[in-house]
Structure 1
């Protein structure tokens, strides 16, 4: 066998196996039908890929290797056509906590009027009282913006939230989440295969932070961000605009490329120049360190001290029964810079 033949077969084998690594989970996650059928079809697609690879190298299958490759190519082309036909929707039977996306309008006197602000009363992850509220926020009263990371899978991976503070002590938190259907559970791998749409949720902190720190037991960290007032305003409005776009033009969530961190990064790059790409945008548990490297965290203390004092779980648990405004105030006690404006 010549060197050229070896290289060609090796490249073809890798291409076949690589296509199979996409095709098998795509079939399993997105084909309609019972799990047994999806498992069988995904396994058959993987087996056909493996047989094609074996045929490339086994002389006894030389006569049929191109026939097998042609069958697999037709399967792959048909699968790509089917995959492109799967489009995001806005009219599914959504889980209650993502049933609504925030809706907003800005009045001439610079008051942000919001509909569908979430303010659930959580007792357990499955037991809660749903509340969707109408709220008004005067944008000339914006005083702060905070970055929160909620670690649910080790130190490397965290959910990112951004919370805006106002002069009257209120805070409005935004979260980019999967818009899962009722009785649907999150899958990291499924999130890479059009399993969920995107949602932008605006919520009271006692809802969206407390459910993570007190109810689910995730490790939640809070950092005061340094940002010009006008940029804070534009970021808040960018969240509202993103939610409005998703209501009319739904998009799929993607675990790697379109998630709670990358969407915030995309909004920020539209508002300011010079934000570099970085691996910490994927390993979102390290996002605060990335923000610190951009000189955008509170300068009240070095980053090592900010990180050491950023955990809010003890304060959140102690404030569990306190009303909304008190909860937000108490979880910030002892956080460096959190008693000062962001600008």
Structure 2
């Protein structure tokens, strides 16, 4: 009996050593990888945004404003450059686009400026033509990361109108102008860093969600295996818990208000106002109520 136990322990030691060697080999392999700087890239990911900053403004280059065919390929390919004044930053909006079960979703932000102008930020994988995203490959340093700045008709509209995803949009409760400007400038700085030096996307630790929350108080309320972060579709529960989205109502009621109903919506100048109609009358938000068409 003692001899069998000794053989089992010895075999277990060999197995643990082999596993440790495998883990070390994978780690070394990943560390030796470098981000791909060469194209070509898919058209909607072909340009990286970057900004020039002044005392009270940023001038953002390569703001995307595409439209898409039903098969998700670009129809109109259009970029523009625009100046955004920091004092005009009015509100930040947080969005979740559910594309699968079990918390599979994409997270994004929109910055609202005075005069009814909106600028969206989406952190994505930068793909080559014919390349497709995979969650496991996203953990193995197979994709570059890209900060896409664009119009809401592009960033949100392709998800509501083309992909048919369940999209929700929440007002962020951060209202201090200085704190909003500080956050905006941080993500602009990260955009410039990524424009100058490519980096990898990581499904778990460097994703659409982790890049948006690393400069916020959310980081103080999470841990490495927090499923509210690992599964971005559950992130609104975390934001609700710490009060970054409205929590003076039930989360279920908030989700109903945040839900975007694409029926009757056109991807025109009225789009940004209409996708927020669920928040009409809340917290002093000057928004028209939803109509029966949506």
Q: TM-score, normalization: structure 1?
A: 0.75
Query: How many angstroms does 1:309 deviate by?
Result: 2.4
Structure 1 Cα separation of the partners of residues 86 and 34 of structure 2: 36
Q: Does 1:151 align with 2:153?
A: no
Please state how far the C-alpha of 1:148 moved relative to its aligned partner: 0.4
Report the alpha carbon displacement of residue 7 of structure 1 after superposing the two structures with TM: 2.5
3-state SS of 1:318 partner: coil
Q: Which runs of 5+ in 2 are unaligned?
A: 287-294
Match in the other structure for 2:202: 254
State how far apart, in whole Å, the 2-side matches of 1:123 and 1:181 are.
19
Give, in angstroms, the shift of residue 283 of structure 1: 1.2
Q: Is the 8 A contact 1:213 1:219 kept in 2?
A: yes
Structure with max Cα Rg: 1
Contact 1:332/1:338 (<8 A) preserved? no
Corresponding residue SS for 2:277 = coil
- 1:121 aligned onto 2:67: yes
**Residue pair 2:279, 2:285 contacting (<8 A) in 1 also:** no
Q: Which of the pair is proportionally richer in helix?
A: 1
Counterpart CA distance in 1 for 2:180 and 2:6 is: 59
Distance 1:286 1:89 in 2: 31
Instruction: Write the distance in 2 (CA, Å) between the matches of 1:285 and 1:264.
Output: 14
| Inter-partner Cα distance in structure 2 for 1:6 and 1:155 | 39
Contact map agreement 1:178 1:197 (CA 8 A) in 2: yes
- Equivalents in 2 of 1:210, 1:339: separation in Å? 26
Task: Choose from 297, 303, 306 the match for 2:245.
Answer: 297
Match of 1:16 in 2: 18
> Residue 42 of structure 2 contacts residue 128 of structure 2 at CA under 8 Å; is this kept in 1?
yes
Partners of 1:245 and 1:4 in 2: CA distance: 55
* Deviations, residues 134-156 of structure 1 (Å, cap 9, x unaligned): 11111101111111001112151
| Residue number in structure 1 paired with 2:187 | 239
SS at match of 2:99: strand
Counterpart in the other structure of 2:107: 160
Residue aligned with 1:174, SS: strand
For 1:147 and 1:172, locate their aligned partners in 2 and report how far apart those are by CA, in whole Å.
12
Structure 1, unaligned runs of 5 or more? 23-75
Tell me by how many angstroms 1:250 deviates.
1.3
Partners of 1:232 and 1:162 in 2: how far apart?
Answer: 12
State the shift of 1:2 in Å. Answer: 4.8
Aligned partner of 1:328 among 272, 275, 294: 272
CA distance change for structure 1 residues 189 and 15 in 2, over 3 Å: closer, same or farther? Answer: farther
Corresponding position of 2:292: none
- Can you list the C-alpha shifts for 1:239-277, whole angstroms capped at 9, x where unaligned? 2111111122211111111100111222225xx884433
Shift of 1:301: 3.0
Corresponding position of 1:183: 130
Aligned residues: 279
Moved more, 286-295 or 83-92: 83-92
How far is the alpha carbon of 1:338 from its aligned partner? 7.5
Contact residue 222 and residue 335 of structure 1 kept, 8 A = no
